[in-house]
């Protein structure tokens, strides 16, 4: 039984504690931490038993009973805890983003490489969604030829007024940034953002919709329509156009109903409904990998690449120009 400590007891932290306690196998939560002690105590109740409560992530990581750490605190707090876990050789599952700056991501990557062990998995859970896996596997067969283009949509019904223009990149399209390069096994070369006619249903600080284009090193062009006030649902689509085929993600688990002379299919409005199974799968895979001491999911390089690509896209939002994605060379360690 892998003994896990969870740092950050907000909604996502509590959801992972519940997942580990009630829905996945092979791990148990032995400690939780949050700067808000009351919140940590409430979260500890989900784990039950004698789950310990800390108010500092560092103290939790240093608890000898904690074998592996889940970091679900706000992004700005990740870097120090990641470095501490690497120093102690403890495995980590870290929610996105790895760190809030590319420099901090690089620091963490250097520390992990120096440790000689793959310790960190990132919470880009969409890699565990069946629809994307089917397309990735189909591309890998070679039967359809080389991928040339990808068309993605990422639509939310609405966003709060705290959501601003850069968040379309750092909070929303960050998922496609990670997914798309993984699906076609390539890294990014350049990006661009085009601002279409704005919806009247957005607010001052959020330009919406946005049309983002990413070009990979081999030349694949990926477009992502990001529309976070689309009103009608949480609508996620992906199509890969290859030399000989179009590979399009199906709508998962959506029942269609014929009634009263109408054919209807529900569109969910909730990302936690659409990706419920993916969340469970990613945590189960992280736990299973502990015994083998490997990381199969998104890793530190992916977190670094996502940060650098996101920086370039945020710049492109402002300049309207094509911006280069300039990374360090991918370390051998991650190839
Ligand atoms: C949120 O943080 C997510 O991760 C959702 O998947 C995304 O659709 C949403 O726009 C983000 O705010």
- 27-33 and 2-7: which strand pairing? parallel
pLDDT (tens digit per residue) in 268-322: 999 988 999 999 999 999 999 999 999 999 999 999 999 999 999 999 999 999 9
Q: Where in the chain is the domain with CATH 3.40.50.720?
A: 2-123+278-299
Query: What is the distance between the alpha carbons of residues 301 and 303, in angstroms, rounded to a whole number?
Result: 5
- Please tell me the pTM assigned to this model: 0.94
Query: What is the distance between the alpha carbons of residues 24 and 47, in angstroms, rounded to a whole number?
Result: 13
pLDDT value at residue 83: 98
pLDDT band at residue 255 under the 50/70/90 scheme: confident
Could you count the other beta carbons within 10 Å of the beta carbon of residue 244? Answer: 9
Ligand 1 centroid–CA 180 distance in Å is 16
What's the distance, CA 279 to chain centroid?
A: 10
| CATH tag for 2-123+278-299 (out of 3.40.630.30, 3.40.1160.10, 3.40.50.720, 3.40.640.10) | 3.40.50.720
Closest CA to 17 of 8, 159, 230: 8
Q: Which residue among 158, 175, 228 has the greatest number of ligand 1 atoms within 8 angstroms of its CB, and so is best to mutate?
A: 175
For residue 106, what is the enclosing H or E element? helix 102-115
Query: 3-state DSSP call for residue 284?
Result: helix
Given the structure tokens 């896996």, which residue do they identify?
Answer: 133
Contact 129, 279 (CB under 8 A): no
Q: Which residue among 125, 128, 156, 160 has the greatest number of ligand 1 atoms within 8 angstroms of its CB, and so is best to mutate?
A: 156
Question: What is the percent of the chain where pLDDT is above 90?
Answer: 96
DSSP state at residue 75: G
Mean pLDDT confidence for 107-134: 97
Query: What is the distance between the alpha carbons of residues 182 and 176, in angstroms, rounded to a whole number?
Result: 10
Across the chain, what does the average pLDDT equal? 96
Contact 35, 14 (CB under 8 A): no
Q: Which residue among 172, 177, 272, 306 has the greatest number of ligand 1 atoms within 8 angstroms of its CB, and so is best to mutate?
A: 172
Query: What is the distance between the alpha carbons of residues 124 and 179, in angstroms, rounded to a whole number?
Result: 8
Mean pLDDT confidence for 92-115: 97
Query: What is the distance between the alpha carbons of residues 31 and 124, in angstroms, rounded to a whole number?
Result: 24
Q: Where in the chain is the domain with CATH 3.30.360.10?
A: 127-272+305-334
pLDDT (tens digit per residue) in 7-39: 999 999 999 999 999 999 999 999 999 999 999
Mean pLDDT confidence for 148-176: 97
Mean pLDDT confidence for 176-205: 97
Ligand 1 contacts (CB < 6 A) are 156, 171-172, 175, 228, 271
Mean pLDDT confidence for 217-225: 98
pLDDT value at residue 252: 63
pLDDT value at residue 253: 66
Burial code (b: 16+ CB inside 10 Å, e: under 16) for 180-210 equals bbbbbebbbbbbbbeeeeeeeebeeebbbbb
| CATH tag for 127-272+305-334 (out of 3.20.20.70, 3.20.20.370, 3.30.360.10, 3.60.21.10) | 3.30.360.10
pLDDT (tens digit per residue) in 142-152: 999 999 999 99
CA-234 nearest atom, ligand 1: 8
Q: Which two tokens stand for residue 300?
A: 């530190």
Residue 223, strand partner residues = 151, 213
pLDDT value at residue 49: 85
Supply angle C-alpha 103, 172, 294, rounded to 5: 60
pLDDT value at residue 222: 98
Task: Identify the residue whose C-alpha is closest to ligand 1 atom 3.
Answer: 172
pLDDT value at residue 254: 78
């Amino acid at each position: 039984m892998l003994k896990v400590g969870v740092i950050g007891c907000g909604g996502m932290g509590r959801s992972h504690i519940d997942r580990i306690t009630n829905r996945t196998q092979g791990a148990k939560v032995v400690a939780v931490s949050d700067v808000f002690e009351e919140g940590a105590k409430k979260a500890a109740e989900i784990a039950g038993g004698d789950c310990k409560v800390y108010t500092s992530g560092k103290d939790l990581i240093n608890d000898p009973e904690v074998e592996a750490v889940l970091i679900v605190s706000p992004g700005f707090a990740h870097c120090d805890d990641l470095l501490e876990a690497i120093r102690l050789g403890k495995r980590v599952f870290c929610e996105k983003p790895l760190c809030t700056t590319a420099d901090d991501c690089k620091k963490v990557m250097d520390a992990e490489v120096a440790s000689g062990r793959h310790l960190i998995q990132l919470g880009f859970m969409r890699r565990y969604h069946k629809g994307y896996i089917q397309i990735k596997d189909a591309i890998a067969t070679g039967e359809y030829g080389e991928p040339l283009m990808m068309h993605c949509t990422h639509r939310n019904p609405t966003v709060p007024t705290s959501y601003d223009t850069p968040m379309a990149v750092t909070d929303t399209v960050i998922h496609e940034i990670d997914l798309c390069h993984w699906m076609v096994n390539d890294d990014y070369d350049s990006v661009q953002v085009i601002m279409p006619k704005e919806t009247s249903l957005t607010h001052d600080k959020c330009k919406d919709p946005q049309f983002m284009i990413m070009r990979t090193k081999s030349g694949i062009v990926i477009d992502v329509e990001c529309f976070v006030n689309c009103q009608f649902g949480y609508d996620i689509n992906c199509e890969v156009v290859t030399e000989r085929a179009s590979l399009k993600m199906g709508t998962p688990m959506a029942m269609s109903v014929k009634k009263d002379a109408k054919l209807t299919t529900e569109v969910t409005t909730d990302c936690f409904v659409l990706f419920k199974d993916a969340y469970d799968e990613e945590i189960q895979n992280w736990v299973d990998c502990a015994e083998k001491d490997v990381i199969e999911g998104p890793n530190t390089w992916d977190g670094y690449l996502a940060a650098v690509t996101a920086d370039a896209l945020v710049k492109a939002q402002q300049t309207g120009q094509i911006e280069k994605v300039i990374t360090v060379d991918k370390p051998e360690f991650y190839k």
